[in-house]
Amino acid sequence: MSDRLNSLLADFHSRLELCVDSQALESLKAEFLGKKGPLTELLKSLKDLSPEERTRVGQATNDAKTAMEAGLASRRAALDKIALDEKLKSEWFDVTLDAAPSRLGALHPVSRVQYEIEDIFSSLGFSIQDGPHCELDYYNFEALNIPKDHPARDMQDTFYFENGAILRTHTSAVQVRAMEKLKPPFKIIGPGKVFRVERTDPSHEAAFHQLEGMVVAEGITVAHLIHTMKTLLKEIFKRDVKIRLRPGFFPFVEPGFELDISCQICDAKGCSVCKHSGWIELMPCGMVHPNVLKHGGIDTDKFSGFAFGLGLDRLVMMRFKIEDIRHLHSGDLRFSGQFV
Ligand code: FA5
């Protein structure tokens, strides 16, 4: 009996060496340890043996079974290790390599300059006011001394909704909202998007940005206005830029001015942005018309004010030498990626 067990074990071990995958291991296990395998047969035949022999052979058979199970487990572990080593060899990677560069987002140039201007005016004591894009005629025109049928309405072709509301054509509407909210003296700016029915060209868009400014206090004069404009431009460009002030008509200011900046794109030599004039219309301004102050419930015997409406996109164009306003709204990452 013990010879039979020894030869079974020897046979098992030599077959075990030949197993190269888990399928082969499973069939070897079934063959030797399965219900119809030689060990089970041996255990079944124990009943025919004498009690002493039964104990001895039973023990030896169980030892053989344990040895086979241990052999299977260690062969399985060895095969797993070989498989893992091969996988590691074929799938290795260098953990010391640099990661692929990730692209950082950044502020759009218009937002960037807007936030810079907000900082400048905040440091001068101005508060930042807001207003809706979809506006009422009253705030955009009526309260700004532009009654219905006034020819000045044609200066800013307007998008109308069926219910009579409009897309605001300028941030001057924020002046009216500020006067409703604040008691003089006050200093505000109101940056935001405005909309006009406009044929686009290198310096005109249908949706663009303005930044309104308004100061109302006792004794405000044109000198305060000019000083504020100069301070702003110096802070933005970090150098003196040539400006010119000429008379301009806006029903909500008197006197009114057009503030032009020398074209920074062509160094005032003439280009398509400045329409070959060397100047860019940047920031109309003026002393707030008494009718506007009265509409806002302000005592015009005591208070006066100035206001301005900066063309933000054009300022950005001058600052970064962008030769077409349409780049700013193109959503083209090749363009905006240059301002990271
Ligand atoms: C106004 O909108 C007045 N509300 C400005 C104002 C405020 C005057 C307070 C007096 C007191 P204007 O239509 O000129 O004015 O526009 C102001 C600025 O916006 C222009 O100087 C220009 O820089 C910019 N701008 C006007 N139209 C466009 C356009 N289609 N595309 C891009 N920028 C424009």
Q: How do residues 215-269 score in pLDDT, each as one tens digit?
A: 999 999 999 999 999 888 888 888 888 999 999 999 999 999 999 999 988 999 9
Neighbours of 51 (CB within 10 A): 7
Structure tokens at 132: 């809706």
Pick the residue whose CA is nearest to atom 9 on ligand 1: 308
What ranges do the domains of the chain cover?
Answer: 2-90, 109-339
Pick the residue whose CA is nearest to atom 12 on ligand 1: 284
- Phi and psi at 148, nearest 5°, equal -55, 145
**What does the pLDDT average to over 120-147?**
95
Could you tell which of 110, 172, 259 is best to mutate to test the pocket of ligand 1, judged by most ligand atoms within 8 Å of the CB?
Answer: 172
With a 6 Å cutoff on the Cβ, whether 141 touches ligand 1 is: no
Dist. CA 254–CA 288, nearest whole Å? 6
Of the candidates 20, 1, 10, the one whose C-alpha atom is nearest the C-alpha of residue 78 is 20
Neighbours of 263 (CB within 10 A): 24
With a 6 Å cutoff on the Cβ, whether 205 touches ligand 1 is: yes
Q: How do residues 295-334 score in pLDDT, each as one tens digit?
A: 999 999 999 999 999 999 999 999 999 999 999 999 898 8
Rounded to the nearest angstrom, the distance between the alpha carbon of 172 and the centre of ligand 1 is: 10
Dist. CA 292–CA 251, nearest whole Å? 9
Instruction: Please return the burial class of 259, using the count of CB atoms within 10 Å of its CB with bins 0-12, 13-18 and 19+.
Output: buried
Could you tell which of 244, 250, 328 is best to mutate to test the pocket of ligand 1, judged by most ligand atoms within 8 Å of the CB?
Answer: 250
Pick the residue whose CA is nearest to atom 3 on ligand 1: 309
Pick the residue whose CA is nearest to atom 10 on ligand 1: 285
Q: Which CATH superfamily is domain 109-339 in?
A: Bira Bifunctional Protein; Domain 2 (3.30.930.10)
- What's the pTM? 0.73
Rounded to the nearest angstrom, the distance between the alpha carbon of 258 and the centre of ligand 1 is: 10
* Ligand 1 nearest-atom number relative to CA 196: 30
Pick the residue whose CA is nearest to atom 13 on ligand 1: 156
Question: Out of 77-91, 144-158, 198-212, which region has the weakest mean confidence (pLDDT)?
Answer: 144-158
* Ligand 1 nearest-atom number relative to CA 258: 21
